[in-house]
C-alpha cells in the first residue's frame, strides 16, 4: 500500500513539475494578449482624442462662419433700409418734378393759347420803360426758374438712382458673400457629422476591445483588465501590477496636516507606495512644471488640454525622489515622468497626485470609476 501511495505521489509530483511551466507560459501568453489589447485601446483612444481636437477646431470655424453670416445679414438689413429710404426720396422728388412739370406745361399751354398777345399784353401793360424792363426780366426769370427747378429735380433724382444702384450692387455682393459662408458652413457641418460618426466607431471599438481584455483578465484569475494593465481614458500614475498601486493613505478631503498639525484641505490623494516606484503620466499633455515646487518637493505638472466640455485639465505629481521629464516636454499617458520619493513637506515615501479642472483642484479618484481603493494608514 505504501509503495502504491509513494508511486502515486511521485507521479503527481512529476505531473505538477511538467504542467506548471505550461500554466506559466499560458499566463504569459494571456498577458501578452492583454498588453496588445491595451495598446489597441490606447491607439483608438489617441485617435479619438485627435478627432475630438479636430472637431473643436471645426466647431470654432462654424462659430466664425455663423458670426460672419450674422454680420452679413446685418449689413443686408442696413442696405435694405437705406435702399428703401432712397426709393422714398426718389418717389418724393418724382412727385415734385411731376408737379413742376405740370405747372410749366400749364404756363406754356396758356402762352400757346394766347400766343404772343398774352406775353405782349404783360409787357405793354407796363407803366413805364423801367416797369417794362422789370416785367420782361421777371417773366424771363420765372421761365428760367421753372426750367432750373425741373433740371435740379432731374439731377437729384438721377443721383439718388445712381446711389440706389450702388446699394443694390453692394447688396448683391453681400448676398454672394453670404452664399459662400453658408456653403462653407454646410461643408463644416458635414465634416463634423463624419467626425462624430468616427468618434462613435472609436467608442464602440474601445468598448469591444475592453470587453475582450476583461475576458482575458478573467482567464488569468482577475475580474477586469485593469487588475493587470491600464486601459482607461486616463492612466493611474502607479502601474496596477504593483501591489501597492491603489493604496490611498490620505484622500481628497479636509485633514489635520501631518507636519503643521493644522486643519487644511488636502488638494489631492496620497498613494502609499515604495520609494523609487515609477510614476506614470495620467494623460497626454505638455509638462509645465518639472522641479522643486515648495511643499510638493520635486514636482511635475502636466497640462492635458481640455475635456469634452472645454474645461482645462492638468495633473500634479508631488514628492518625487527624481524627475524623468522636463518643462515643455510632450508626454503620452503611461510615460514614466519620475519616481516616488519623500521630498518637500512629506513624512515618508508616497506620491501626492492632484487633479485640476480650470485651475481648481478636484478629487482625482472621480476620473477612475469602478476602481477599488485600499484606504491605509
- Averaged pLDDT, 41-52: 86
Residue 91 has a pLDDT of 78
Mean pLDDT of all residues belonging to the chain: 80
The cell for 301 is 505638472
In three state form, how does the secondary structure of the chain look?
A: CHHHHHHHHHHHHHHHHHHHHHHHHHHHHHHHHHHHHHHHHHHHHHHHHHHHHHHHHHHHHHHHHHHHHHHHHHHHHHHHHHHHHHHHHHHHHHHHHHHHHHHHHHHHHHHHHHHHHHHHHHHHCCCCHHHHHHHHHHHHHHHHHHHHHHHHHHHHHHHHHHHHHHHHHHHHHHHHHHHHHHHHHHHHHHHHHHHHHHHHHHHHHHHHHHHHHHHHHHHCCCCCHHHCCCCCCCCCCCCCCCCCCCEEEECCCEEECCCCCCEEECCCEEECCCCCCEEECCCCEEEEEEEECHHHCEEEEEEEEECCCCCEEEEEEEEEEEECCCCCCEECCCCEEEEEECCCCCCCCEEEEEEEECCEEECHHHHCCCCCCEECC
Given a cut of 90, whether residue 226 has pLDDT beyond it is no
Does residue 138 or residue 291 have the better pLDDT? 291
pLDDT-derived band at 80, boundaries 50, 70, 90: confident
Does residue 111 or residue 29 have the better pLDDT? 29
Does residue 290 or residue 99 have the better pLDDT? 290
- Averaged pLDDT, 200-209: 91
Does residue 352 or residue 167 have the better pLDDT? 352
Residue 73 has a pLDDT of 86
CATH architecture of 55-198: Orthogonal Bundle (1.10)
CATH topology for 235-375? Glucose Permease (Domain IIA) (2.70.70)
Residue 25 has a pLDDT of 40
pLDDT-derived band at 257, boundaries 50, 70, 90: low
pLDDT-derived band at 41, boundaries 50, 70, 90: confident
Q: CA 103 → CA 99, 114, 135, distances in Å?
A: 6, 17, 20
Q: In which residue ranges of the chain is CATH 1.10.287 found?
A: 55-198
- Averaged pLDDT, 339-345: 95
Asked which of 9-18, 104-113, 214-223, 320-329 is least confident by mean pLDDT, the reply is 9-18
Given a cut of 90, whether residue 174 has pLDDT beyond it is no
pLDDT-derived band at 39, boundaries 50, 70, 90: confident
pLDDT-derived band at 240, boundaries 50, 70, 90: confident
Does residue 10 or residue 62 have the better pLDDT? 62
Given a cut of 70, whether residue 139 has pLDDT beyond it is no
pLDDT-derived band at 43, boundaries 50, 70, 90: confident
Share of the chain above pLDDT 70, in %: 79
Given a cut of 70, whether residue 249 has pLDDT beyond it is yes
Does residue 152 or residue 366 have the better pLDDT? 366
Amino acid at each position: 500500500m505504501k509503495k502504491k501511495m509513494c508511486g502515486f505521489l511521485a507521479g503527481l509530483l512529476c505531473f505538477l513539475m511538467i504542467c506548471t511551466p505550461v500554466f506559466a507560459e499560458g499566463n504569459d501568453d494571456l498577458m501578452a494578449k492583454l498588453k496588445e489589447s491595451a495598446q489597441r485601446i490606447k491607439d483608438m483612444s489617441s485617435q479619438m482624442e485627435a478627432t475630438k481636437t479636430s472637431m473643436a477646431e471645426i466647431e470654432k470655424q462654424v462659430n466664425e462662419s455663423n458670426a460672419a453670416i450674422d454680420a452679413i445679414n446685418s449689413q443686408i438689413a442696413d442696405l435694405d433700409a437705406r435702399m428703401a429710404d432712397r426709393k422714398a426720396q426718389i418717389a418724393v422728388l418724382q412727385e415734385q418734378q411731376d408737379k413742376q412739370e405740370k405747372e410749366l406745361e400749364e404756363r406754356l399751354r396758356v402762352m400757346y393759347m394766347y400766343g404772343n398777345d398774352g406775353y405782349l399784353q404783360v409787357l405793354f401793360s407796363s407803366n413805364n420803360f423801367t416797369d417794362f424792363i422789370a416785367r420782361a426780366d421777371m417773366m424771363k426769370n420765372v421761365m428760367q426758374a421753372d426750367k432750373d427747378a425741373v433740371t435740379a429735380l432731374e439731377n437729384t433724382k438721377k443721383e439718388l438712382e445712381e446711389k440706389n444702384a450702388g446699394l443694390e450692387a453692394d447688396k448683391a455682393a453681400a448676398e454672394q458673400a453670404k452664399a459662400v459662408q453658408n456653403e462653407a458652413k454646410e461643408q463644416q457641418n458635414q465634416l463634423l457629422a463624419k467626425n462624430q460618426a468616427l468618434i462613435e466607431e472609436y467608442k464602440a471599438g474601445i468598448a469591444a476591445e475592453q470587453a475582450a481584455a476583461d475576458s482575458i483578465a478573467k482567464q488569468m484569475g482577475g475580474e477586469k483588465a485593469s487588475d493587470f494593465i491600464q486601459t482607461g481614458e486616463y492612466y493611474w500614475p502607479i502601474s496596477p501590477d504593483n501591489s501597492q498601486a491603489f493604496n490611498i493613505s490620505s484622500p481628497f478631503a479636509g485633514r489635520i496636516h501631518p507636519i503643521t498639525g493644522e486643519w487644511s484641505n488636502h488638494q489631492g490623494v496620497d498613494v502609499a507606495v515604495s520609494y523609487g516606484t515609477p510614476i506614470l503620466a495620467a494623460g497626454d499633455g505638455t509638462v509645465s512644471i518639472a522641479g522643486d515646487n515648495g511643499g510638493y518637493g520635486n514636482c511635475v505638472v502636466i497640462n492635458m488640454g481640455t475635456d469634452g466640455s472645454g474645461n482645462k485639465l492638468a495633473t500634479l505629481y508631488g514628492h518625487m525622489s527624481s524627475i524623468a521629464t522636463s518643462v515643455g516636454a510632450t508626454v503620452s499617458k503611461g510615460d514614466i515622468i519620475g519616481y516616488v520619493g519623500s521630498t518637500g513637506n512629506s513624512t515618508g515615501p508616497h506620491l501626492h497626485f492632484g487633479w485640476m479642472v480650470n485651475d481648481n483642484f478636484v478629487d482625482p479618484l472621480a476620473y477612475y470609476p469602478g476602481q477599488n481603493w485600499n484606504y491605509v494608514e
